[in-house]
Structure 1
Amino acid sequence: MTKPIRTLFCGAVLQPFFDLPSAQIPMVLQAAGLLTKTIREMPGVTVIGTMDDDETMVGTSPTGWPWTFYILADVVDRETVISACNLFRTIEVGEHRLWKYIRVEARMGRELAMPEPA
C-alpha cells in the first residue's frame, strides 16, 4: 500500500473578487463553499484541516505566500490532486469560473517524520 501524498492546497483571493458589487460577493463565497465541500467528499482525499487568513489579511494575496486560505489533506495520488485543482476551472460563478476570483497552488510532499530518539 502506498503512502498518501500530503498536500497543501493554497488559495489566493484575487482582485476581481474585490471589484465585485457587494450583492455579487455571496455567489463567489457559495462557489468557494462548494469547492471545499467537493474536495472533502472526493474519493481518496482526507482533509486534515483548513485555515483562513481573512481576518488578519485584508485585500488581495500577493503572488505566492501568504495565501488567503489553506486546505491540508492526505491525497491518494497526483491525479486526484490535479482533479481537486481542476475544480477552480469548472465551478461556475455566474458567467465566469471560480478561477477568476481565486487562484490555487497545490504543494505536494510527504508527512514530516523524524526518527525516534534512541
Structure 2
Amino acid sequence: MTTDTQIPLRTLFCIGVNQNFFDATQAETKDIWSAFVQMMQGIAALPGVKVLGNLDDDRSMVGPSTSWPWTTYVLADVPDLATVHAACNLFRTIGVGDGTYKLWKYCKVEARVGRELSIPAYAA
C-alpha cells in the first residue's frame, strides 16, 4: 500500500504478441481479445495502481514480438514490487475461451521498474 512517504514505482509493462496469436482461428482470436481486455482491466484494478497511459505499436510493427520493440505498452505507477508481480501474473492466470490455455500462450509481458525522472531545478 502506498503511503504519503512511499514513492510509487514507475512501471512500464512491455507486452509482446507471439506467433500463437497469429496462428489462432477467428473464433479463438475473439476469445484472446476478451482475455486481453480482462488483463488490461485487471492491471488497472490492482490496489494502488494508477495507469498513466498506453501505446499500441500495431500499425508500424507487423508480426510477433520476440523482443523489443514490443507490440503494446502500459505505463503505470505501482505501489510496490509485489503488485508489479501480481500484474504480470495475470498473464498466467487469465484463461482464454474455455480456460484450457492461459493468456501467456498468446502474449508475453516484461515489466521495467524504475522511478519518475525528476529534473532538478538547477538543471533547467
What SS does structure 1 have at the residue aligned with 2:122?
coil
Q: Deviations 1:6-62 (Å, cap 9, x if unpaired)?
A: 000000000011111122101101111010011111111000001111121111012
Shift of 1:117: 2.9
From 102, 106, 109, the counterpart of 1:104? 109
Which amino acid is the alignment partner of residue 76 of structure 1? Answer: P
Deviating beyond 4 angstroms after TM superposition, the runs of 4 or more aligned structure 1 residues are none
Question: Residue 22 of structure 2 aligns with which residue?
Answer: 18
- The match for 1:3 is 7
Gapped runs of 5+ residues in structure 2?
none
Whole-angstrom distance in 2 between the partners of 1:114 and 1:56: 32
C-alpha distance in 1 between matches for 2:27 and 2:52: 33
Q: Which amino acid aligns with 2:116?
A: E
1:24-43 equivalences in 2 (<5 Å)? 24-43=28-47
- Secondary structure of the residue aligned to 2:121 is coil
Q: Which amino acid aligns with 1:38?
A: G
Distance 1:97 1:50 in 2: 23
For structure 1, the 5+ residue unaligned runs are none
Alpha-carbon RMSD across the aligned residues, in angstroms, is 1.0
Identity, in percent, stands at 53
Aligned with 1:114 (options 108, 113, 119) = 119
Residue aligned with 1:117, SS: helix
Q: Which residue number in structure 2 is paired with residue 55 of structure 1?
A: 59
One-letter code of the match for 1:87? Answer: L
Residues matched between the structures, number: 117
